[in-house]
Chain A
Amino acid sequence: MSSDSTAPNSTPSDSTQPSAARARTAPLVELEHMDDLWFQVAGTLCNLTCHHCFISCSPKNKNFGFLSLADVRSRLAESVELGVKEYYFTGGEPFLNPDMVEILVATLGFGPATVLTNGTVFKDEWLEQLRTAEQESIYSLEFRVSIDGFSSETNDPIRGEGTFDRAMKGVIQLVEFGFMPIITAARTWPDEEEQTVVGQFVEMLKKAGYSRPRLKILPTLQIGAEVERTGGYRESERVDHQMMEDFEMSQLVCNHSRIVTDRGVHVCPILIETPDALLSQTLKESTKPFAMAHGACLTCYQYGSICSNASSGGKNSN
């Protein structure tokens, strides 16, 4: 998945099963309601190899495979009974999946759809089809495009040579087709520079022709490829029971989401590589509680609702 999405196959420190003792003692999170259903629609295949990808997606990573249109249709049908509110698509790069356009068109018949993309592989005919599908639907189609810096100099060291220009071309393509993409950037700068960096982002997007830019800033997750950059989570960096006292549980992704991959249903988009996160084969059976035993759970705890769109706010009433 892109920075906004996911990650890796190498040796992520957090992709191993937590010890039995830790799994037993970690706070349990109940699924309050399956608001968001995610699809790892492109598996772990991506045309880019970003340094901070939390599942180390790459052109060679086939740990997880594509979901077909039939797979997604079947899950959409299954989701109706559970009252799923919104659908999200990630990878890898979703648009490497040859069924992607049809999948989004089908989804817009069920509910709102959001696709997390690196923006580098769009074809005009796809966007034309998707524009028509969204106009005919009562639901929104959101594009979240990952760009991790407001210039080639800041973005390309993270996402790869030439990716800034390619992603910006994709953003402008979307804008020309009438979409208003949400630009998502992983926070790879110091907190004190946030205001300046966000300002530079906005200015750059406006100058490029996106007059009303939308931005979503995400924390980095120290798993997957990001382990090599940051060293990963320390053993002490975990959520404990004391921290859960008076905590707003709806801030946690596992409180209101599940994700489908070609292996089954997992707890959240971030932890698909961890064995204990694979919960079941059906959506209905995936509603069991989950033990927050991973380092990445701490980031989710600290920042809250990191995967959802801002329009789903109210889940995180901070």
Chain B
Amino acid sequence: MINSTTTRIACFGGIYNNYLALEAAIADARSRGVDDMFCLGDMGAFGPHPDRVFPLLHEHSVACIQGNYDDSIGNELDDCQCGYTDPRDNYFAQISYDYTLANTSAENRKFLQQLKPQLELDLAGKRVLLCHGSPRKVNEFLWESTTSSHFLDQLCQQGGFDAIACTHTGLKWERRLSDNRLFVNVGVLGRPENDGTHHVWYTLLSVVDGKVTAEFCPVDFDYGRLAREMRDEKLPAEFVKTVETGWWTTCLEVLPAKERRLGSF
């Protein structure tokens, strides 16, 4: 448990090598006067130049927890442990993973290896858990349309948390639970939300009227440059298309019906 006088924090979800969005998100969060910044894991995947993410995290004192990707890269495992089940999804995930592992320095791998999987903090007297997939499993997908409220209530009650924040799915959402508890998926910085736009999202957490409250913040970044660099690095055209169009082209089979219908593919 981190004890602090923190009252307003920024939570960044998966970065997926998108150092351009990370840089923009840090600037945006600073302009909003946050006390602290956190990253909920998955620094690598999808985008180009993995090593460009880490200096930003260190320079701006972004406290990080370990996602499944970080565990894999840090320990040089065979795959990303994302939890996909479809062969096509796994095919593209493996391309991305092999590239990221090959391009992450030993020093940065060591940094990822030593990260803790969860972090508890005191936010103006409220107990908040930051985790990657869920409090019980690093790569669990908690989608808005397939996660019952009583399941989330139980997670909060068992851990004694006023709020739980996670990432992993790539889609932000929040739900107010019993006793004003909050569950929030903070979204990701790595790629747009499968909604046909170019921006990405992070989340501000603060305590308003005695309850933990989330504010979702859009982040514009130079997506054209990201796309160019992805091409230069010979990353799959399918990934580049997502950056340029805002629609997911891969990793679609894990989406539940409601979330899948919102996309284009």
Contact = CB atoms under 8 A, between A and B. Distances in A.
A139 B150 contact: no
Contacts of B86: 310
A59 interface: no
A80 B150 contact: yes
A301 B140 CA distance: 20
A85 B85 contact: no
A111 B143 contact: no
Contacts of A178: 261
Nearest to B150: A80
A309 B143 CA distance: 12
A205 to B, nearest CB: 14
A142 B260 CA distance: 11
Given A314-B137, A317-B81, A83 B261 contact: no
A313 B150 contact: no
A236 interface: no
B139 interface: yes
A180 interface: yes
Interface string A7-48: 000000000000000000000000001010000000000000
Contacts of B244: none
A312 interface: yes
B141 A142 contact: no
A113 B52 CA distance: 43
Q: State which size class the interface on A falls in.
A: 35 or more
A280 interface: no
Contacts of A66: none
A244 interface: no
B257 A141 contact: yes
A139 B147 CA distance: 8
A313 B83 contact: yes
A86 B141 contact: no
A179 interface: yes
A313 B68 CA distance: 13
Contact of B254 (A33, A81, A313): A313
B128 to A, nearest CB: 20
B75 interface: no
A313 B255 CA distance: 10
B156 to A, nearest CB: 10
Nearest to B265: A212
Contacts of B134: 314
Contacts of B87: 195, 198
Contacts of A81: 150
Nearest to B90: A318
A244 B153 CA distance: 32
A90 B257 CA distance: 18
A110 interface: yes
A140 B253 contact: no
B5 interface: no
A33 B265 CA distance: 33
A142 B258 CA distance: 9
A139 B83 CA distance: 21
B150 A84 contact: yes
Contact of B147 (A79, A82, A85): A85
A111 to B, nearest CB: 3
Given A112-B146, A317-B139, A84 B151 contact: yes
Contacts of B133: 314
Nearest to A33: B136
A312 B146 contact: yes
Contact of A142 (B137, B254, B257): B257
B55 interface: no
B148 A86 contact: yes
Contacts of B84: 310, 313
A311 B83 contact: no
Contacts of B148: 83-86, 110-112, 139
A316 B139 CA distance: 9
Contacts of A195: 87
Nearest to A313: B83
6 closest A-B pairs by beta carbon, nearest first, are A83-B154, A111-B148, A314-B83, A140-B145, A314-B140, A313-B83
Interface of B: 68, 81, 83-87, 133-134, 136-137, 139-141, 143-151, 153-155, 168, 175, 253-261, 265
17 contacts: A84-B150, A86-B146, A111-B148, A111-B151, A112-B147, A134-B258, A139-B145, A140-B257, A198-B87, A311-B141, A311-B146, A312-B141, A313-B84, A314-B133, A314-B137, A317-B83, A317-B137
